[in-house]
């Protein structure tokens, strides 16, 4: 998937803003690709498994972040008052 991301960015640089990188693989080629894309992955676990194993670990993290964001109350909803520092 990372090589496909590189191709997509080369074809349309604006798509870079929509890419998430699940993990930093241990392979030198993967690290170089992330550097080229100036990408900071969500996880760096030293995985050498391939087959999308890093993505499989990152998906629950992204889902949880979305749930937390969507379920978070606003200051008004939580009755938080502005106070001087």
List, for residues 2-17, the tens digit of each pLDDT value.
Answer: 899 999 999 999 999 9
Specify the pTM: 0.72
Encode pLDDT of 23-69 as tens digits: 998 888 889 999 999 999 999 988 777 777 888 899 999 999 999 99
Report yes or no: 5 and 37 within 8 Å, Cβ to Cβ: yes
| Domain spans, the chain | 2-71
What percentage of the chain reaches a pLDDT higher than 90?
Answer: 58
pLDDT band at 85 (very low <50, low <70, confident <90, very high): low
Query: Cα separation of 27 and 46, whole Å?
Result: 9
The question of whether 51 is a catalytic residue gets the answer yes
Find the catalytic residue in 35, 40, 51, 77: 51
What is the model's pLDDT at position 66?
95
Query: Cα separation of 64 and 45, whole Å?
Result: 19
What is the model's pLDDT at position 75?
87
């Amino acid at each position: 998937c990372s090589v496909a991301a590189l191709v997509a960015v080369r074809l349309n640089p604006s798509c870079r803003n929509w890419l998430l990188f699940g993990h930093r693989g241990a392979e030198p080629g993967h690290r170089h690709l992330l550097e080229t894309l100036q990408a900071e992955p969500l996880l760096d676990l030293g995985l050498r498994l391939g087959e999308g194993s890093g993505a499989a670990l990152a998906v629950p993290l992204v889902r949880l972040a979305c749930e937390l964001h969507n379920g978070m109350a606003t200051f008004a909803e939580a009755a938080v008052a502005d106070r001087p520092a």
